[in-house]
């Protein structure tokens, strides 16, 4: 062949050599090898000796010659690509690389591309690939580009790995803050939606608790409503859209061909080709045999499902398993924490209720006992004795209930079952409540027909069941009836206790038999109770291998149903007593009925007068309102307080509020825990009412400790007293709070009086301001008219009436000065005295004032002497300082008539000091501290005129300049007034409120 002379050209090309030697190069654009130019032969030699993927593109058609390293890039295009034009070999990328090749030829400058994305068709499908390569021009001897030398490598694995690694990292971070499984799955789907290249769509299913179904929790890439994305799939359905059943059974990943297209175009995306297949991967938590969920992941149609792609998706499923497990662990921990918190709240409520239940009877026992010990006879009689016995029995029953409950929970219940005529026994128990229901205005229906056979029960436990249920019905029923039915049904006996009471909200029904639980906000006759009554009933029923259920509707009533099996086969044989025993139920029933009677209002349950209570020893002067839902406590408080105060009683907060509005009490003594409106609620309503907010409130509570007291005082209570308490302490607290209330009322009265006086003074100042303005205008006109008349007089008329006109003019000037003084007073009082600061020569100002005062001094027989610094400049309001100096000179002349007056101006320590000295009557030392106050005078106004405002105005003006004015006695008699002004005004002085700067 023509290639033989150049066989050594292909000798170093390895396995590719024989193939290159067999090519008929004459049929290619390159022509016979013998005709190849030296540049081509050199370039091909370099190319074939490279181990790095390299090729030579020669001629205008860019014919290919490549080395062994380039064959993996070509895949199925090899060996047909040898010697063929680049455009024919790679038509799918010509639109991207063709311009680059042409640019290298035209510019003779090499190009460089890094991780360039290309869609190539080399494995039977259009594949997503990335390449890093360079195009270098091959320039011949004539300076023209004859070909291009290309070297580079495929970076597809690195680019895909980095992209998938970013997704894996994002998946790990996405679920970190998730608090629920739904939040974690939603975060995972959001992260997957950012990598639609590797995961065009996804659907995340989690199995339900019974492992029978899988529900869709989150998805990405799907359009809502697609049939391929159902909200729930059965794990037994082999024909479901996704093979979750098979994956759940085998635990292996399943490959799924997709027909038709299962995805829609995600928002903001435009994938070039829809996914044609998907993987269904199990989500397995460590240590679990069955998947907790499934990941349906769409596959990129332009990526081969190789080991790396599959590993990425399996790693994704593993991360989802970890995120779901972490979220579920957080949820379980939160549920445990909430359960513990709820148990802690229930425990706290229980101890609070038990404290209340114990402290109330203890108070009613200890109080009468202490009173009896303090009496001369040291005897307990009458109603006090009944109260002690009644509350001792109540306390004993509370303790027994707690002990019974604890024994039952510990499995140590001492129950003995005997055949009992349950119809007669139940009817006898219920009939004991008839007196209480009649006094409450309720109907009691007992429907207990004879049963066909005795029923095995523990009589004492059945007694507790029936009495608790009937007592509970009585507590929550205010009108209508209570019905108790007993009937047989197949192999069971049913007891129904139905009422027409307040009912139980639907959300509370699942919790009514829980220990310590109490229905919040329920209307009841009393708030008393430990919170274990119904829980104890359930335990007692279960000891009989029975069940208890409840149905209720708010506002219509409640029905409790107890179901007991007949016969004795279900009971332990060692606890059976075949001989029926008849025991009296009167004692236990009496206790329940007595307690129920104490829940009734006082109008229904009026206590008899106690002959042992002494008559009042003092005339009641204050009204006290007692509020407590326990009748014994109300009676006890009444017996303590009635000898000293006028007492009124109320059974709850609402009744107390109505009583306070009808007749305002001086003090309210209220229990904290009450049905309906409790003590704190009553306190809040009182403080919100303008008419009642000032009433002092003393709270009584069974909750001891500083926290309870602080909470009560923070709510607005005036005092807080913990049960049990002594009668003397209660009386002392009531008296002290009443005295404090009287003091506060007196203080409020004085404050109101002061406020009224302040209003009157303000009104007076407003009047003075208005009146001064109104007087100033006619006085100014009058003065002008006098001056016009005086100037128009002839010499003869002036001799005849001139003296009278001068007198009238002086009177007008004096009146104008008085009006100006009143106007200054109103300006000062209303904060409208505005100063205008200028640089003022005080020497000239003092000389001018002295000169203007000479005529007045001559009329008074005074001589004026002045000693002033020639030039002393201060920043002040010239008009106001002149007003002060004029006032001091006028006073000196007035009170030093016939005596000399000296004025002196000097600089002293950064101050300008003006002294006005007279030798007149002087000022008593006791008066010197008050003469600068309003309307204060050192002498009688009968001998010396004036309002007593001049020196007050002077002090206000001087202090507004940050100066001072004082008075000292003149040696030998008289007074010396000294005015001091700062020579340099501060910025604060010039810009402060009420001042003006030029």
Write the pLDDT tens digit of every residue in 218-241: 888 864 445 677 888 888 888 888
**Which structure tokens are listed for 696?**
């002092």
Q: Is the pLDDT of residue 268 over 50?
A: no
Query: What are 443's strand-pairing partners?
Result: 481
Mean pLDDT computed over 680-709: 81
Question: CA angle, 61 as apex, 59 and 67 as ends, to 5°?
Answer: 75
- CA dist 465 and 540 (Å) reads 7
How many CB atoms neighbour CB 522 within 10 A? 18
Mean pLDDT check: name the lowest of 259-273, 711-725, 875-889, 894-908. Answer: 259-273
311 burial level (CB within 10 Å; 0-12, 13-18, 19+):
exposed
Q: How many helices (H) does the chain have, and how many strands (E)?
A: 26, 32
How many CB atoms neighbour CB 847 within 10 A? 16
3-state secondary structure 109-132: CCEEEEEEEEEEECCCCEEEEEEE
User: Residue 682: in which H helix or E strand, if any?
Assistant: helix 679-688
- CA dist 805 and 790 (Å) reads 7
Task: Calculate the alpha carbon distances from 38 to 10, 46, 675, 799 in Å.
Answer: 15, 12, 111, 146
Q: Is the pLDDT of residue 618 over 60?
A: no
Token pair 């002839």 in the structure block, residue:
794
- CA dist 451 and 69 (Å) reads 101
Query: In which band, very low, low, confident or very high, does the pLDDT at 99 lie, cut at 50, 70 and 90?
Result: very high
Mean pLDDT computed over 19-25: 88
**pLDDT at position 21:** 86
User: Residue 495: in which H helix or E strand, if any?
Assistant: strand 492-499
How many CB atoms neighbour CB 436 within 10 A? 24
CB 813 within 8 A of CB 807: no
Write the pLDDT tens digit of every residue in 535-591: 888 888 888 889 999 999 988 899 999 999 988 888 888 888 766 554 544 456 766
Answer with the residue of higher pLDDT: 843 or 222. Answer: 843
CB under 8 A, 24+ apart: contacts of 845-848 = 845/878, 845/881, 845/882, 845/885, 846/885, 846/903, 846/905, 846/914, 848/882
**pLDDT at position 818:** 58
Query: In which band, very low, low, confident or very high, does the pLDDT at 323 lie, cut at 50, 70 and 90?
Result: confident
User: Residue 496: in which H helix or E strand, if any?
Assistant: strand 492-499
CB 197 within 8 A of CB 128: yes
pTM of the model: 0.45
Q: What is the DSSP string of 318-351?
A: HHHHHHHHHHHHHHHHHHHHHHHHHHHHHHHHHH
Reply yes or no: is the peptide bond before residue 622 cis, omega within 30 of 0.
no
**Which structure tokens are listed for 543?**
């000891």
Query: In which band, very low, low, confident or very high, does the pLDDT at 528 lie, cut at 50, 70 and 90?
Result: low
Strands in 253-303 per DSSP E: 254-257, 277-283, 293-298
Query: What are 446's strand-pairing partners?
Result: 484
Q: Is the pLDDT of residue 269 over 60?
A: no
CB 843 within 8 A of CB 869: yes
How many CB atoms neighbour CB 242 within 10 A? 22
Answer with the residue of higher pLDDT: 376 or 65. Answer: 65
User: Residue 137: in which H helix or E strand, if any?
Assistant: strand 126-139
**Which structure tokens are listed for 438?**
């009649």
Which residues, 6+ apart, have CB-to-CB distance to 422 below 8 Å? 451, 454, 455, 457, 462, 486, 493
- CA dist 130 and 165 (Å) reads 17
- Per cent of the chain over pLDDT 70 is 76
User: Residue 524: in which H helix or E strand, if any?
Assistant: none
- CA dist 892 and 951 (Å) reads 12
Q: What is the DSSP string of 889-955?
A: HHHHHHHTTTS-EEEEEEEETTEEEEEEEE-SS---GGGTTTTTSTT--SS-TTTS-S-S-HHHHHH
**Percent of the chain that is helix, strand, coil (3-state, to 5):** 45, 20, 35
φ/ψ (deg, to 5) at 296: -100, 115
Residue 579: name the closest of 419, 416, 414, 415 by CA. 419
Write the pLDDT tens digit of every residue in 909-929: 888 999 999 998 888 887 777
DSSP-derived secondary structure letter, 292 = S
SS3 at position 795: helix
Token pair 């709270």 in the structure block, residue:
699
φ/ψ (deg, to 5) at 233: -130, 140
Q: Is the pLDDT of residue 956 over 80?
A: yes
Token pair 């391929």 in the structure block, residue:
228
Answer with the residue of higher pLDDT: 828 or 90. Answer: 90
Which residues, 6+ apart, have CB-to-CB distance to 299 below 8 Å? 200, 275, 276, 277, 278, 279, 305, 309
Strands in 655-758 per DSSP E: 667-671, 697-701, 719-722
Token pair 């799918």 in the structure block, residue:
92
- CA dist 267 and 825 (Å) reads 79
Which residues, 6+ apart, have CB-to-CB distance to 759 below 8 Å? none
Which residues, 6+ apart, have CB-to-CB distance to 305 below 8 Å? 255, 277, 279, 299
Helix 181-193 vs helix 307-374: crossing angle, to nearest 10: 150
- CA dist 635 and 267 (Å) reads 77
**Which structure tokens are listed for 533?**
């009554």
Q: Is the pLDDT of residue 986 over 60?
A: no
H helix runs in 202-268, sequence order: 244-250
Q: Is the pLDDT of residue 160 over 90?
A: yes
Token pair 């040696």 in the structure block, residue:
971
C-alpha gyration radius of the chain: 55
Which residues, 6+ apart, have CB-to-CB distance to 209 below 8 Å? none
- CA dist 249 and 725 (Å) reads 72
**pLDDT at position 598:** 66
Look at phi and psi of residue 826 and say left if phi exceeds 0, alpha if psi is from -120 to 50, else beta: alpha
**pLDDT at position 602:** 55
Token pair 């067999």 in the structure block, residue:
22
- CA dist 340 and 825 (Å) reads 73
**Which structure tokens are listed for 125?**
């499908």
Reply yes or no: is the peptide bond before residue 878 cis, omega within 30 of 0.
no
Residue 274: name the closest of 298, 309, 249 by CA. 298
Mean pLDDT computed over 86-115: 94
Averaged confidence pLDDT in the chain: 80
**pLDDT at position 902:** 93
- CA dist 760 and 766 (Å) reads 10
Mean pLDDT computed over 676-690: 87
**pLDDT at position 569:** 84
């Amino acid at each position: 062949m023509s290639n033989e002379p150049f066989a050594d050209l292909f000798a170093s090309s390895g396995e590719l050599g024989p193939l290159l030697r067999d090519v008929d190069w004459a049929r290619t654009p390159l022509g016979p090898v013998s005709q190849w130019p030296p540049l081509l032969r050199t370039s091909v030699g370099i190319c074939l000796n490279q181990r790095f993927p390299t090729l030579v593109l020669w001629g205008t058609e860019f014919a290919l010659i490549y080395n062994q390293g380039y064959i993996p890039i070509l895949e199925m295009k090899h060996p047909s690509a040898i010697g063929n034009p680049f455009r024919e070999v790679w038509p799918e990328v010509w639109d991207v690389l063709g311009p680059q090749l042409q640019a290298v030829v035209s510019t003779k400058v090499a190009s460089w591309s890094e991780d360039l994305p290309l869609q190539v068709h080399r494995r039977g499908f259009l594949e997503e690939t990335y390449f890093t390569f360079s195009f270098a021009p091959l320039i011949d001897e004539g300076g023209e580009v004859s070909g291009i030398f290309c070297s580079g490598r495929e970076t597809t694995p690195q680019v895909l790995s980095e992209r998938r690694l970013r997704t894996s990292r994002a998946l790990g971070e996405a679920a970190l803050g998730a608090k629920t499984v739904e939040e974690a799955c939603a975060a995972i789907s959001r992260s997957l939606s950012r990598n639609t290249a590797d995961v065009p769509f996804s659907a995340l299913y989690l199995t339900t608790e019974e492992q029978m179904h899988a529900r869709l929790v989150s998805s990405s890439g799907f359009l809502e409503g697609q049939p391929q994305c159902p909200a729930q799939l059965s794990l037994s359905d082999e024909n479901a859209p996704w093979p979750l059943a098979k994956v759940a059974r085998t635990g292996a990943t399943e490959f799924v061909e997709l027909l038709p297209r299962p995805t829609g175009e995600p928002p903001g995306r435009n994938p070039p080709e829809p996914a044609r297949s998907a993987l269904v991967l199990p989500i397995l938590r460590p240590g679990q045999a069955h998947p907790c969920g499934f990941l349906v992941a769409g596959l990129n149609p332009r990526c081969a499902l190789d080991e790396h792609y599959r590993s990425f998706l399996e790693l994704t499923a593993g991360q989802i398993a970890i995120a779901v497990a972490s979220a579920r662990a957080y949820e379980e921990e939160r549920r445990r924490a909430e359960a513990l918190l709820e148990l802690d709240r229930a425990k706290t409520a229980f101890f609070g209720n038990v404290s209340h239940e114990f402290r109330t009877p203890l108070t009613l026992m200890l109080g009468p006992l202490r009173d009896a010990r303090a009496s001369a006879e040291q005897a307990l009689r009458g109603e006090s004795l009944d109260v002690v016995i009644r509350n001792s029995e109540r306390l004993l029953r509370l303790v027994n209930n707690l002990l019974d409950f604890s024994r039952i929970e510990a499995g140590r219940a001492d129950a003995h079952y005997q055949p009992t005529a349950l119809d007669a026994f139940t009817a006898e128990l219920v009939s004991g409540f008839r007196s209480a229901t009649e006094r409450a205005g309720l109907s009691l229906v007992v429907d207990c027909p004879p049963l066909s056979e005795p029923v095995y029960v523990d009589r004492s436990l059945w007694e507790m069941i029936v009495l608790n249920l009937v007592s509970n019905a009585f507590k929550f029923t205010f009108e209508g009836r209570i019905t108790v039915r007993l009937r047989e049904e197949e192999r069971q006996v049913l007891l129904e206790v139905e009422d027409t009471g307040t009912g139980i909200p639907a959300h509370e029904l699942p919790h009514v038999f829980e220990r310590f639980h109490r229905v919040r906000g329920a209307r009841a006759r009393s708030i008393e109770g430990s919170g274990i009554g119904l829980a104890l009933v359930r335990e007692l029923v279960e000891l009989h291998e029975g069940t208890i259920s409840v149905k209720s509707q708010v506002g219509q009533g409640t029905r409790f149903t107890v179901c007991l099996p007949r016969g004795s086969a279900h009971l332990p044989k060692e606890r059976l007593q075949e001989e029926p025993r008849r025991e009296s139920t009167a004692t236990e029933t009496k206790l329940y009925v007595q307690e129920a009677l104490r829940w009734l209002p006082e109008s229904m349950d009026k206590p008899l007068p106690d002959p042992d209570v002494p008559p009042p020893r003092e005339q009641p002067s204050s009204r006290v309102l007692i509020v407590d839902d326990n009748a014994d406590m109300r009676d006890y408080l009444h017996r303590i307080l009635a000898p000293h105060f006028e007492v009124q009683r109320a059974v709850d907060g609402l009744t107390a509020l109505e009583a306070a509005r009808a007749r305002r009490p001086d003090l309210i003594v209220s229990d904290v825990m009450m049905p309906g409106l409790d003590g704190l609620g009553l306190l809040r309503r009182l403080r919100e009412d303008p008419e009642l907010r000032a009433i002092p409130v003393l709270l009584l509570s069974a909750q001891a400790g500083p926290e309870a007291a602080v909470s009560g005082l923070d709510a607005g209570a005036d005092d807080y007293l913990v049960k049990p308490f002594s009668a003397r302490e209660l009386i002392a607290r009531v008296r002290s709070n009443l005295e404090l209330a009287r003091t506060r009322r007196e203080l409020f009265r004085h404050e109101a009086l002061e406020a009224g006086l302040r209003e009157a003074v303000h009104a007076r100042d407003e009047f003075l301001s208005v009146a001064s303005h109104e007087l100033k205008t006619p006085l100014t006109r009058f003065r002008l008219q006098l001056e016009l008349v005086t100037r128009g007089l002839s010499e003869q008329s002036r001799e005849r009436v001139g003296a009278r006109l001068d007198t009238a003019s002086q009177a007008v000037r004096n009146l104008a000065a008085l009006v100006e003084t009143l106007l200054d007073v109103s300006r000062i009082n209303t904060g409208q005295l505005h100063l205008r600061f200028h640089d003022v020569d005080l020497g000239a100002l003092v000389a001018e004032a002295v000169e203007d005062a000479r005529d007045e001094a001559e009329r008074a027989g005074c001589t004026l002497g002045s000693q002033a610094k020639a030039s002393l400049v201060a920043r002040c309001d010239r008009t106001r300082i002149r007003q002060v100096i004029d006032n001091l000179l006028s006073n000196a002349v007035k009170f030093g008539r016939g005596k000399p007056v000296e004025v002196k101006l000097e600089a002293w320590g950064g101050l300008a000091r003006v002294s006005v000295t007279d030798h007149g009557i002087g000022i008593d030392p006791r008066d010197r501290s008050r003469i600068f106050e309003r309307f204060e005078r050192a002498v009688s106004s009968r001998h010396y005129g004036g309002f007593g405002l001049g020196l007050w105005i002077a002090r206000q003006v001087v202090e507004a300049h940050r100066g001072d004015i004082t008075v000292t006695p003149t040696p030998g008699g008289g007074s010396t007034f000294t005015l001091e002004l700062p020579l340099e005004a501060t910025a604060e002085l010039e810009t402060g409120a009420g001042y003006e700067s030029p």
